[in-house]
Amino acid sequence: MTDKKIRVLVAKPGLDGHDRGAKVVARALRDAGMEVIYTGLRQTPEMIAEAALQEDVDVVGLSILSGAHMALAPRILELLKKNGQDQVKVFIGGIIPDEDMPRLKEMGITGIYGPGASTDDIIKEVREAVEP
Amino acid sequence: MSLTKSILEGNRLALARLLTQVENDSSQGRDALAELFPHTGKAHLIGVTGAPGTGKSSLVNQLALHYRKNTDKKVAIVAVDPSSPFTGGAVLGDRVRMRDLSGDEGVFIRSMATRGSLGGIARKTASVVQVFDAAGYEIIIIETVGAGQSEVDVARLAHTTVVVEAPGLGDEIQAIKAGILEIADVLVINKADRPGVENAERALRSTLELAHPIKRVFRHHGKSMSIAAPTADPNIWIPLIVKTVATEGKGIDELSESIAKHAAHLHQSGDWTARDRARLGSEMEALLQEALMDRFLDDIPHKEYEEIIEKVIHRNLSPSEAVTFLLNGNLR
């Protein structure tokens, strides 16, 4: 009997301290039956990659409201790849200007959610990304 | 290279992936665990339990740091959090308190959801612990959910069970409640910088006295009387009480010493092997029960089973008669 659950890492990289969005998403994913590893604030890219590896997650969700996404995203993607986890899907939520979105998608970010994004959409797209 | 071989050679990605297989009870997981099992038996399993808000995760963080600083043993931490009974999902947040451990390749933290188990750990926690043991993690700390008195499963799994209390949580009454205090090998009063520590300690000590009365010898010397020092029975372990302030790293040396004393006692008294036997024995029984049930139910045609249930619902058969019928083919 297998008992598979989708495992999602929710992390806030960098120095911004606004975690309400991350917590809302964490609870929504839990309510959708997923197991959410919540790592809290002030995570470095190295800490995020390390947690993603140890927890063997399917998805990494980054909450970034500081504007540092163009530096943080590629670094995290690079570390995941280095650790042999390039199949992990990375989503970003927070404050991301429209003009940065195409570049982020090119880098390999699977989904980007701004303020007002619906948790139903997030849940649906996370599921589709993991079980296509 | 096979998953098993990679793990034995220290590959952490392979380890993480096998932990998932084992947690999900896949056939790949079971096969790999069978291959790894001969390599188990070297780890000291330390359970950490206690009510929510007592500071378990911070304590585990400090304890792991202590082992890493003072020994060259690898430390694994299995942190268990509850699954929602309605949605099956979970938020696993114990890592939040363990940021000091990041960057150390000799530490591996794995979060597990209970997935329906009620005793404080998950059904597959024991198997996950075995994988870490085989992979060379000599200290394995299992942090339980923390719902309080019902969390006794970890005592069956661990060699040393640490129960964490904090002052001001109604200790005088809590201390006397059965269950959690009876499983403690080491009792920690965390947040010992808060008011109420002395009361908490007194309440715990008097409960321990009730549970483990020490024989005292009263000697008469004519008009005076003296009480001879109690001789400790080497086969009885009396839980040690340690005060800590986990967030400041205070009391951690004493905690680690107490844990070491308990381990020494287990080896000396033969209890170490006795506990291993009990643990592995009960794991085998649980697996046997599951396997027998599955096999038995597979052999009964679904329609026949449903007919018997209908008879019970219509009060033509009692549940125990129904079972006798299923087992014997008749009612005798």
Mean pLDDT, all residues of chain B: 88
Query: Is the confidence at residue B327, as pLDDT, over 90?
Result: no
Among the residue ranges B18-32, B98-112, B227-241, the one predicted with the least confidence is: B227-241
A31 to B17: CB separation less than 8 angstroms, yes or no: no
B contact test, residue of A12, A30, A54, A55 with most B CBs within 10 A: A54
SS3 B9: coil
DSSP character at residue B229? P
Residue B328 has a CB neighbour count (10 Å cut-off) of 9
Residue among B25, B95, B103 minimizing CB distance to A39: B95
Per-residue pLDDT of chain A (132 residues; tens, 9 = 90+): 346 899 999 999 988 888 999 999 999 999 999 999 999 899 999 999 999 999 999 999 999 998 899 999 999 999 999 999 999 999 999 999 999 999 999 999 999 999 889 999 999 999 999 987
Tens of pLDDT, residues B278-288: 889 988 998 89
Q: Which amino acid is at B190?
A: N
Average pLDDT, integer, range B226-252: 81
Give just the sign of the alpha carbon dihedral B174, B175, B177, B182. positive
Is A2 contained in some domain? no
Could you tell me the two tokens for A34?
A: 């997923």
Residue among A39, A84, A85 minimizing CB distance to B96: A39
Nearest CA in chain A to B98: A39
Q: A95-103: long-range contacts at Cβ-Cβ below 8 A with a sequence spacing of 24 or more?
A: A95/A64, A95/A65, A95/A67, A96/A64, A96/A69, A100/A69, A100/A70, A103/A70
Q: Write the DSSP string, B234-299.
A: TT-PPPEEEE-BGGGTBTHHHHHHHHHHHHHHHHHHTHHHHHHHHHHHHHHHHHHHHHHHHHHHHH
Q: Which residues pair with B187 in a beta bridge?
A: B163, B241
Q: Which residues pair with A37 in a beta bridge?
A: A9, B92
The structural domain count of chain A equals: 1
Beta strand pairing status for B217-221 and B224-228? antiparallel
Q: Evaluate whether B108 touches B137 at the Cβ level (below 8 Å).
A: yes
Q: Evaluate whether A5 touches A34 at the Cβ level (below 8 Å).
A: yes
Is A71 contained in some domain? yes
How far apart CA A14 and CA A12 sit, in angstroms, is: 7
Give the domain range for residue A85: 7-130
DSSP character at residue A34? -
* Fold (topology level) of B40-275: Rossmann fold (3.40.50)
Q: What is the CATH number of the domain that holds A27?
A: 3.40.50.280
Helix ranges, chain B (H)? 3-8, 12-23, 27-36, 56-70, 125-134, 153-157, 171-174, 197-211, 252-269, 271-299, 302-313, 319-328
Could you tell me the two tokens for B106?
A: 């000799």
Give just the sign of the alpha carbon dihedral B310, B314, B317, B323. positive
Looking at residue B145, its pLDDT comes to: 83
Could you tell me the two tokens for B280?
A: 């592995």
A55 to B108: CB separation less than 8 angstroms, yes or no: no
Looking at residue A47, its pLDDT comes to: 96
Residues 6+ apart with CB under 8 A from B136: B8, B10, B42, B74
Q: Which residues pair with B163 in a beta bridge?
A: B49, B187
How far apart CA B88 and CA B76 sit, in angstroms, is: 26
Is A62 contained in some domain? yes
Residue among A31, A38, A56 minimizing CB distance to B92: A38
SS3 B319: helix
Among the residue ranges A28-42, B57-71, B216-230, the one predicted with the least confidence is: B216-230
Looking at residue A83, its pLDDT comes to: 97
Among the residue ranges A87-91, B173-177, B186-190, B252-256, the one predicted with the least confidence is: B173-177
Nearest CA in chain B to A2: B24
Residue among A39, A46, A54 minimizing CB distance to B110: A54
How far apart CA B284 and CA B265 sit, in angstroms, is: 26
Average pLDDT, integer, range B207-228: 65
Is A61 contained in some domain? yes
Residue B202 has a CB neighbour count (10 Å cut-off) of 13
Is A60 contained in some domain? yes
Residues of B in contact with A38 (CB under 8 A): 91-93, 95-96
Nearest CA in chain A to B109: A54
How far apart CA B185 and CA A113 sit, in angstroms, is: 49
Q: B-side interface with A, Cβ within 8 Å?
A: 12-13, 16-17, 19-20, 23-26, 83-84, 87-93, 95-96, 99, 102-103, 108-111, 113, 115
Question: pTM for the complete prediction?
Answer: 0.90
Is A1 contained in some domain? no
Nearest CA in chain B to A47: B102
Tens of pLDDT, residues B268-312: 999 899 889 988 998 899 889 989 998 988 988 889 899 999 999
Tens of pLDDT, residues B127-154: 999 999 999 999 999 999 876 556 678 8
Looking at residue A1, its pLDDT comes to: 37
Query: Is the confidence at residue B172, as pLDDT, over 70?
Result: no
Can you tell me the ipTM of this complex?
Answer: 0.95
Looking at residue B313, its pLDDT comes to: 96
Q: Evaluate whether B165 touches B180 at the Cβ level (below 8 Å).
A: no
Helix ranges, A13-118 (H)? 20-31, 45-54, 69-82, 101-107
Looking at residue B201, its pLDDT comes to: 87
